Amino acid sequence: MKIKTYVADNIQEAFYKVKTDLGKDAVILKTKHIKKGGFLGLFAKRMVEVVAANDIKPNLDLPTKPDFSKLPPISKPKETESIAEIKDIKTDIEQVKDLLNKLYLDKTQQDNAPAVDMPSLLKKYYDRMCEMEILPEIINTLIDNTKNSISDTDLNNKTLLYNTLKKEIISFIDEVEPISLSDKNNVVAFVGPTGVGKTTTIAKLAAHFVLYKNKKVAMITADTFRVGAIEQLKHYGDLLEVPVHVVYRPEDVKEILTELKDYDLLLVDTMGFSPNNRIQIKKVKNLLDILNPDDIYVVVSAATKNQDMVDILNNYKELQYKKIIVTKLDETKSYGIILNAINISGCKLSYLTTGQNVPDDIEVASGDKIADLILGEVKDV
């Protein structure tokens, strides 16, 4: 008697191999699914293993021999097998993502480990900036530039060190760019995930330009998606006596813009969506293409985790935002997110918002103030 093991992509192919090799009287002893190949247990292929024998004595108590003549022709794996394979691949991809994330974090931590010879006061500021959750590469640049611009002795002088680091942070933040009106009809659009405070920020800005700058302002909303979004903006519009127009279809844009052509500033609210929602990104992109705004502001919340901020700012880049607004600064003490947002987006900062009150809780971002918040009160050593 000959017993042999066969491995194939699917059961039909395995039986075909048995039949060709051991002849039509071969008997199947065992079948099972196995995983083959891959790397570190990942991407392994799902296959079938069949153990078969020939020349089996008729009195042996073995499983019934399959009738090979009735076997279907070799075909693609059944639907259920494909689904199982897709599930396996998805699990593998998740594992690879976790692995890569871990490797990236380990590598970043190694690359950005503080220099051992860092003077103790500088090390205190280094630790403070880590607590602020500033990205390691930004901290390193700030520390290196500071070390290069003052003498080793001055690194232990608290006032000098504070002022030098502060100057570095201010220069990292660079110019801030709030809305600046040209004499024509200015159209400014706001994009960002749901709930970050786009509509509230638009209401604050509308109030600012109406009350303090005496401008003719109108608000336009394209957020017909979220329940209550139109009413929310209309409520602010009524309070400020500012007209609110709703874009239900992209075709509405032209008519609305013509109607509002005598206004100084049109603030356009858009629907929020997850940064991974490609369909919604395309919809907003389509609207912005028709609207052709003078400026696009991306709105992000200071209470966002760093990794989520990376996803948001990267995936929203398709919308070609030019400036950043950071909201909800009152909800966090990790001010580093402001520097991270500038770094990831490559854009200038404009406004910070610090609470729910319309119109008060908004200010033009100030490098000086942000640097003070970041450096805080570091105790003397």
Ligand X SMILES: Nc1nc2c(ncn2[C@@H]2O[C@H](COP(=O)(O)OP(=O)(O)O)[C@@H](O)[C@H]2O)c(=O)[nH]1
361 binds, among Mg ion, ligand X, none (CB under 5 to 8 A by kind): ligand X
Pick 13 or 361: Cβ nearer ligand X = 361
User: Residue 177 phi/psi, 5° resolution?
Assistant: -130, 80
**119 within 8 A of 156, measured Cβ to Cβ:** yes
| Closest to ligand X by CB, 24 or 333 | 333
- Closest separation between CB of residue 330 and ligand X, Å? 5
Q: Is 240 helix (H, G, I), strand (E, B) or coil?
A: helix
Reference 325, options 219, 185, 148, 176; nearest CA is 176
Token couple for 259: 């109607």
If DSSP codes are grouped into helix, strand and coil, which group holds residue 299?
A: strand
Residue at shortest CB range from Mg ion: 199
Nearer to ligand X, 38 or 195 (CB): 195
Contact assessment for residue 176 and residue 348, using Cβ atoms and an 8 Å cutoff? yes
Whether residue 335 contacts residue 129, with contact meaning beta carbons closer than 8 Å, is answered with no
Contacting residues toward ligand X, per CB under 6 A? 192, 194-200, 272, 327-328, 330-331, 353-356, 361
The closest of 289, 298, 352 to 321, measured between CA atoms, is 298
Close Cβ partners of 192 (under 8 Å, ≥ 6 residues apart): 198, 272, 298, 299, 300, 312, 316
Q: How far is the CB of 206 from ligand X (least distance, A)?
A: 13
- To ligand X, the closest distance from the beta carbon of 190 in angstroms equals 8
Give 126 or 236: the residue with its C-beta nearer to ligand X: 236
Enumerate binding residues for Mg ion (CB under 5 A): 198-199
The crossing angle, in degrees rounded to 10, of helices 136-149 and 120-131 is: 150
- Report the partner that residue 151 touches, choosing among ligand X, Mg ion, none (CB closer than 5 to 8 A by kind): none
Q: If contact means CB under 5 to 8 A according to the sort of partner, which of Mg ion, ligand X, none does residue 275 touch?
A: none
Q: Which does 372 bind (CB under 5 to 8 A by kind): ligand X, Mg ion, none?
A: none
Smallest distance from Mg ion to CB 217, Å: 17
132 neighbors 374 (Cβ within 8 angstroms): yes
**Smallest distance from ligand X to CB 259, Å:** 24
Smallest distance from Mg ion to CB 163, Å: 41
Closest separation in Å from C-beta 80 to Mg ion:
44
334 binds, among ligand X, Mg ion, none (CB under 5 to 8 A by kind): none
Find, among 300, 335, 322, 348, the residue nearest to 174 by Cα.
348
At its nearest, how many Å lie between Mg ion and the CB of residue 328?
Answer: 14
Q: Which does 194 bind (CB under 5 to 8 A by kind): Mg ion, ligand X, none?
A: ligand X
Q: Which residue sits closest to ligand X, CB atoms considered?
A: 197
Angstrom CA distances, 38 to 5, 10, 46, 76, stand at: 21, 18, 10, 21
Nearer to ligand X, 136 or 355 (CB): 355
Q: What CA–CA distance (Å, rounded) separates 309 from 317?
A: 12
**Which CB atom, from 38 or from 195, has the smaller least distance to Mg ion?**
195
CB of 41 or CB of 228, closer to ligand X: 228
If contact means CB under 5 to 8 A according to the sort of partner, which of ligand X, Mg ion, none does residue 245 touch? none
